[in-house]
């Protein structure tokens, strides 16, 4: 985690950046406090940034803002990382793994590169 460049790990960040790129082609209209209509080619999708919901349901299922949510966040000049499910954040991952990763002293362990088979 010390090598993470953002508030989330590289795999989640890659997915998020793909969603941001896909959101560039969407038309967005606000219709109230943190409510946005995202107009795609065939359907309108409704996004509520307060509840972290999108009618496409991808955001609710994954915890990662879908392209529609990314378009809405961009329209309202929000920070995309504040809308990611808390379990993906670096701070949460550090809490999860803080006590479970215990180093084991290995000075008396055999060298795996110098093992010989005996009958």
Q: Angle formed by the axes of helices 10-23 and 67-75, to 10°?
A: 70
pLDDT in tens, 73-119: 999 999 999 999 999 998 888 887 777 666 677 677 667 777 776 66
Across 1-5, 43-47, 64-68, 72-76, least confident range: 1-5
| Contact between residue 97 and residue 72 where contact means Cβ atoms under 8 Å apart | no
Q: What is the pTM of this model?
A: 0.76
Distance CA(82)–CA(27), nearest Å, equals 22
């Amino acid at each position: 985690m010390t090598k993470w460049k953002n508030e989330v790990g590289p795999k989640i960040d890659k997915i998020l950046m793909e969603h941001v790129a896909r959101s560039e082609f969407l038309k967005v209209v606000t219709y109230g406090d943190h409510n946005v209509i995202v107009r795609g080619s065939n359907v309108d999708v409704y996004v509520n940034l307060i509840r972290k919901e999108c009618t496409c349901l991808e955001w609710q299922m994954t915890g990662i803002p879908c392209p529609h949510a990314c378009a809405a966040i961009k329209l309202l000049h929000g920070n995309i990382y504040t809308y990611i499910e808390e379990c993906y954040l670096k701070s949460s991952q550090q809490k999860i793994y803080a006590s479970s990763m215990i180093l084991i002293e290995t000075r008396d362990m055999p060298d795996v590169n110098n093992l010989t088979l005996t009958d």
